[in-house]
Amino acid sequence: MAIRPWARQMQAEVERLPETLATLRESADNIRQVSDDLLGVAASLRRVTEALDAAGLAETTDVMKRSSEALRHSAASMESIQQSFVDANEAFFAGLSKLPGADLLNPFRRPR
């Protein structure tokens, strides 16, 4: 029967689902931490830039401002990546819920 290989494959996927979700959560936490760290670095660079500006080092200040902007952009990208993990997780569950036998996956769903 064609349904048995599919059922075995789905069983294997469901068995790996908790580990996969734990990895996604850990990745999201790591991305959040990196984002927070980058925001701190950007704030530090801003303070250094202001101090250099006050000391009259305009060229160095310009370089620091560009570096700070690049770090802010990186931090925004990290937030976007984190949201992508959340979206992928939701899309994954939405797709699984449409499959035959999806009611077997209810123990693995997040409460809403």
pLDDT, tens digit only, all 112 positions of the chain: 577 888 888 899 889 999 999 999 999 999 999 998 988 888 888 888 788 777 767 776 677 788 888 877 777 777 777 887 787 777 776 666 666 666 665 555 555 5
Integer CA distances (angstroms), 22 to 10, 25, 28, 85, in order: 19, 5, 10, 12
**CA–CA dist 109, 112 (Å, integer):** 9
- DSSP state for residue 1 in the 8-state scheme: -
